[in-house]
Amino acid sequence: MDYFTLFGLPARYQIDTQALSLRFQDLQRQYHPDKFANGTQAQQLAAVQQSATINQAWQTLRHPLTRAEYLLSLHGFDLASEQHTVRDTAFLMEQLTLREELDDIEQSKDDARLESFIKRVQKMFDARLQQMVEQLDNAAWDAAEQLDNAAWDRVGRGGGYGAQTAVSR
């Protein structure tokens, strides 16, 4: 059973996070290992395994990046694969240019320029994120996967483009 089905949610990127939380609490109460303390060893083991699955599903679906990766994995795309590399040279060049600009800003210690840079990078991030959301919700699996593992990483784990992450340091 996939994680979306476990929580009674449609398999799509945009989900009702409140419903996810409520269902998580219900499932945790229902399958908590303590409820099976007087059961057989097999029942106790099954409860521990079910509880672990529920926790893993919750952790996966509650975070936007892991939810997107999981949704793509359900459709045969593995973004965690070592075979994924950045294929978009324009994207790479954009990142290099942004990092160089950020280095210049840091050297000049120009707060107004830094603020402007942050706003521009945030707009770029928001546009890329919106594109990903639309592709995921429209089941454009190939297009979503083509955004590259590095792009997913920058949107999710890095808090945005690499330059945006560097600014936050």
Residue 163 sits in the same domain as residue 101: yes
Which residues, at least 6 apart from 139, have a Cβ–Cβ distance to it below 8 Å?
A: 75
37 and 101 share one domain = no
What does the radius of gyration of the chain's CA atoms come to, in whole angstroms?
Answer: 20
The model's pLDDT over 130-139, given as tens digits with 9 standing for 90+, comes to 888 887 777 6
Residue 30 lies in a domain: yes
DSSP 159: S
Look at residue 91 and tell me whether its pLDDT is greater than 80: no
How far, in Å, CA of 15 to CA of 10, rounded? 7
150 within 8 A of 91, measured Cβ to Cβ: yes
Q: Is the pTM of this model over 0.75?
A: no
Same domain, 36 and 103: no
Domain count, the chain: 2
DSSP for 42-58 reads HHHHHHHHHHHHHHHHH
Question: Is there a domain that residue 94 lies in?
Answer: yes
- Region label for 120, one of left (φ > 0), alpha (ψ between -120 and 50) or beta (otherwise): alpha
- Whether residue 18 is contained in a domain is answered as yes
Q: Of all residues in the chain, what percent carry a pLDDT higher than 70?
A: 76
C-alpha angle 69-77-161 in degrees, rounded to nearest 5:
45
| Whether residues 151 and 108 fall in one domain | yes
Average pLDDT over residues 75-95: 70
> Which residues span the domain enclosing 114?
89-168
**pLDDT at 145 exceeding the cut of 60:** no
Same domain, 114 and 160: yes
Measured in residues, the chain has a length of 169
| Rounded alpha-carbon distances, angstroms, from residue 54 to 13, 115, 140 | 19, 42, 28
